[in-house]
Amino acid sequence: MTKMALGTHPFLLGFEQLERLVERTAKTGNDGYPPYNIEQTSATSYRITLAVAGFAESDLAITVEDNSLVIRGRQRDDSEGRIYLHRGIAARQFQRSFVLADGVDVGEAVMENGLLHVDLTRSVPDRVVQTINIRKG
């Protein structure tokens, strides 16, 4: 018996891109840094919170690219002239991507106490009932 791919199931018409989306999501390259939370703040809104301690607003960039929310961070290296006996706080860059469904819009971003909050809203489409006339052939 051959296993049928999800996007090719006969009842899922028009979902061929679903497998490509799942593969793209798996390949986002997120390595766990920085840590983040995703919370549902209402029936149609979400908040992504990233722990970005040490980053200034000017060190961060938030873009929407090809239905993905991409958050990048790049700190300036200010270690010139300093002698560290221990350096446990790394000044490293990151890129974290989140795939967005159709109808999900990125709202505002707020920096607060070392946390970056990005608000998302999902528009609810109008429910449409369409009657199809049958003609004689």
Predicted confidence at residue 84, as pLDDT, reads: 86
Q: Are 100 and 69 in contact (CB under 8 A)?
A: yes
Confidence (pLDDT) at 25: 62
Handedness of CA 8, 11, 15, 21 (dihedral sign): negative
The pLDDT-based confidence of 126 (bands split at 50, 70, 90) is confident
pLDDT for position 54: 87
Give Cα separations from 79 to 55, 88, 94, 137 (angstroms).
15, 13, 19, 79
Tell me the pLDDT tens digit for each residue of 2-47.
666 665 667 777 766 767 766 766 665 557 889 999 999 999 999 9
What global pTM score does this model have?
Answer: 0.74
The full set of domain ranges for the chain reads: 1-29, 31-122
pLDDT attached to residue 45:
97
Q: Can you read off the two tokens belonging to residue 124?
A: 């609810």
Reported as a single tens digit per residue, the pLDDT across 44-100 is 999 999 999 889 999 999 999 988 999 999 987 777 888 989 988 767 899 999 999
Domain 31-122 has CATH 2.60.40.790: yes
Write down the pLDDT at residue 28.
Answer: 57
